Chains A and B, each alone.
Chain A
Amino acid sequence: MDFINKNLPYLLAGISVGGQYALIAIGYTMVYGILRLINFAHGDIFMVAALVTVYATTTMPLYVSIPLTLIVTVVLGLAVERVAYKPLRNAPRMSVMISAIGVSYLLQNLALYVTGGLAQTYPAIPFISDTIQIGSATTKMVTVVTPILTIILVFALMQLINHTKIGMGMRAAANDFETSRLMGIKVDNVISMTFLIGSLLAAIGSVLYFTNYASVVPTSGAMPGLKAFVAAVFGGIGSIPGAVIGAFIIGICENIIKGLGWTTFSDAFTFALLIVILIVKPTGLFGEGATDKV
């Protein structure tokens, strides 16, 4: 009991940050599932979402700036796909990866240019920034909101994928582009849909994530992006439930490690985990076999 009381704040923080990683990780895993591409720019899109919130809230009320953040982020995600990935549809996979790395640096540098290299203060968003008391732990409302919202969104997403026509099209395209085209599926639209969902969830994730931080810098997307990517690999890249479970495990472990007083090792833990998975079970917890799409 004493142990739990002492570690409750860390456990709560872990669940919360796990949910935030999950919202980012879904974008990685879905894009990988359909394009076999690791979208290195995804973490930076997440960072841009935070900057949009910062700038939007300086002039606009929250009920405008949050939807605006979601819209701008989705448009950015779709634009990146159109400009940087779509022209390379038939190119070797390595070319697309390099393009993704290019986009990542481009977004970071654009952010550097726009912010002038100054950390931008993230606004306090009412309700989710409110302080609450849970047992022995004092925390922000976002800690409770995140896991609930994450689970609702993941549930909705699974419904979309498993029980709608576009979802069926997405699963088919993940199997085989050419045969999907033969069925009359517009594969490019399905891919856009994937980027739309990934970017939207990343934008929601950014609102939740940055509520716990004071400011945003151009590299703010790198670390959570990387953690979410590890979560996706851990869960079995391509699998949505895998990414979500992986994200929660990583979030919780990281924070428990902090609770034990080994804060300096909490990041190292995540990357050690990545290495261990890649050695022991490269397909992750729920990964498909080594079915490489040609």
Chain B
Amino acid sequence: MLKVKDLKVNYGGIEAVKGISFEVPEKSIVTLIGANGAGKSTTLRSIVSLVKPASGTIEFMGENITGKDTNEIVAKGITLVPEGRKIFPDLTVLENLKIGAYMRKDNLTDDLNWVYDLFPRLKERHWQPGGTLSGGEQQMLAVARALMSRPKLIMMDEPSLGLAPLIVKGIFDIIKEINRQGVTILLIEQNANMALRTADVGYVMETGSITMTGTGAELLVNEQVRAAYLGK
């Protein structure tokens, strides 16, 4: 579904991503793990054109989307749950959800019910300004907001960051549930253990390059991965 080839991204003179290639098959969960500053967020941001790649191609459902405008890419069915949640603090929870569907012109009732089913907490708090939600609630809102665009591919940048273990488990359950309902998922995580358990395929990224790949299960037992990312 998503094919990234030889992607390079520079910030000024710094090469943040140094020619990586990977694929996300339809209906799968793929995870990208790696240390701080490896270039994971940069990779996701370049897929939705928030940063322009220096070279390489990004193909989505057979179409070259490299360097297209962000809103065009979002319209094609890719969405990003950004690092740090980035919900709109001055908008209510309901407005945050509606703005996730900004590109759509059809009725939102079904989708609101869908995300409220996934996150009942958001329904209770639909009138509250986004900025007053707790960290975990904000993360739920960020995921729910992304779902409101009815994406084919949802990319999540560290959705479990800073959340209590129980909430982390909840988020991963939701990820699996969304995937079961047919949404393809590209997941970035610091929590390599959880991510690899959840994912079909994993890629390990180090300082701008992909150094290892395998199924989630393979990487979980890989010696190097265990030493570097699972603290064992």
Q: Chain A: residues with CB nearer than 8 A to chain B? A: 165, 168-169, 171-172, 174-176, 178-179, 181-186
Q: Which of B70, B75, B103 has most chain A Cβ within 10 Å?
A: B70
Closest CB pairs A-B (n = 7) = A184-B103, A184-B74, A181-B70, A179-B86, A184-B71, A175-B88, A183-B102
* B216, CB-defined interface residue at 8 Å: no
Q: Which residues of B from 75 to 100 have beta carbons under 8 Å from A?
A: 75, 79-80, 82, 86, 88-91, 95, 98-100
Contacts A171-B91, A175-B88 given; does A184 touch B75 at CB 8 Å: yes
> Which B-chain residue is minimally distant from A181 (CB atoms)?
B70
B99 touches A168 (CB 8 A): yes
A168 touches B75 (CB 8 A): no
How far does the alpha carbon of A168 sit from the alpha carbon of B97 in the complex, in Å? 11
B71 touches A171 (CB 8 A): no
Q: Which of A174, A181, A183, A185 has most chain B Cβ within 10 Å?
A: A183
How far does the alpha carbon of A174 sit from the alpha carbon of B99 in the complex, in Å? 14
How far does the alpha carbon of A185 sit from the alpha carbon of B91 in the complex, in Å? 15
A92 to chain B, nearest CB (A): 15
7 contacts between A and B (CB under 8 A): A165-B102, A169-B102, A182-B48, A184-B70, A184-B71, A185-B71, A185-B99
Contact of B74 among A174, A176, A183 (CB under 8 A): A183
* B61, CB-defined interface residue at 8 Å: no
Contacts A169-B99, A169-B102 given; does A178 touch B88 at CB 8 Å: no
A18 to chain B, nearest CB (A): 27
Contacts A171-B88, A172-B88, A175-B89 given; does A183 touch B50 at CB 8 Å: no
Residues of B within 8 A of A179 (CB): 82, 86, 88
Q: Which of B88, B98, B103, B145 has most chain A Cβ within 10 Å?
A: B88
Contacts A169-B99, A172-B99, A179-B82 given; does A184 touch B149 at CB 8 Å: yes
Residues of A within 8 A of B48 (CB): 182
Contacts A168-B95, A169-B102 given; does A182 touch B80 at CB 8 Å: yes
> Which B-chain residue is minimally distant from A185 (CB atoms)?
B102
A178 touches B50 (CB 8 A): yes
Contact of B102 among A174, A175, A176, A184 (CB under 8 A): A184
Residues of A within 8 A of B80 (CB): 182
How far does the alpha carbon of A178 sit from the alpha carbon of B89 in the complex, in Å? 14
How far does the alpha carbon of A165 sit from the alpha carbon of B82 in the complex, in Å? 22
A176 touches B88 (CB 8 A): yes
B91 touches A183 (CB 8 A): no
> Which A-chain residue is minimally distant from B100 (CB atoms)?
A183
Residues of B within 8 A of A171 (CB): 88, 90-91, 95
Contacts A181-B71, A184-B71 given; does A176 touch B86 at CB 8 Å: yes
* Inter-chain pairs besides A182-B74, A182-B86, 9 sampled, C-beta below 8 Å: A168-B98, A178-B50, A178-B86, A179-B88, A182-B82, A183-B99, A183-B103, A184-B103, A186-B71
Q: Which residues of B from 91 to 122 have beta carbons under 8 Å from A?
A: 91, 95, 98-100, 102-103
> Which B-chain residue is minimally distant from A179 (CB atoms)?
B86
How far does the alpha carbon of A165 sit from the alpha carbon of B104 in the complex, in Å? 11
How far does the alpha carbon of A3 sit from the alpha carbon of B138 in the complex, in Å? 57
B71 touches A175 (CB 8 A): no
Residues of B within 8 A of A172 (CB): 88, 91, 99
> Which A-chain residue is minimally distant from B81 (CB atoms)?
A182
How far does the alpha carbon of A182 sit from the alpha carbon of B88 in the complex, in Å? 12
Residues of A within 8 A of B91 (CB): 168, 171-172, 175
Residues of B within 8 A of A181 (CB): 50, 70-71
Q: Which residues of B from 59 to 73 have beta carbons under 8 Å from A?
A: 70-71
> Which B-chain residue is minimally distant from A162 (CB atoms)?
B95
A182 touches B103 (CB 8 A): no
How far does the alpha carbon of A22 sit from the alpha carbon of B141 in the complex, in Å? 37
> Which A-chain residue is minimally distant from B85 (CB atoms)?
A179
Residues of A within 8 A of B88 (CB): 171-172, 175-176, 179
> Which A-chain residue is minimally distant from B130 (CB atoms)?
A175
Residues of A within 8 A of B50 (CB): 178, 181-182
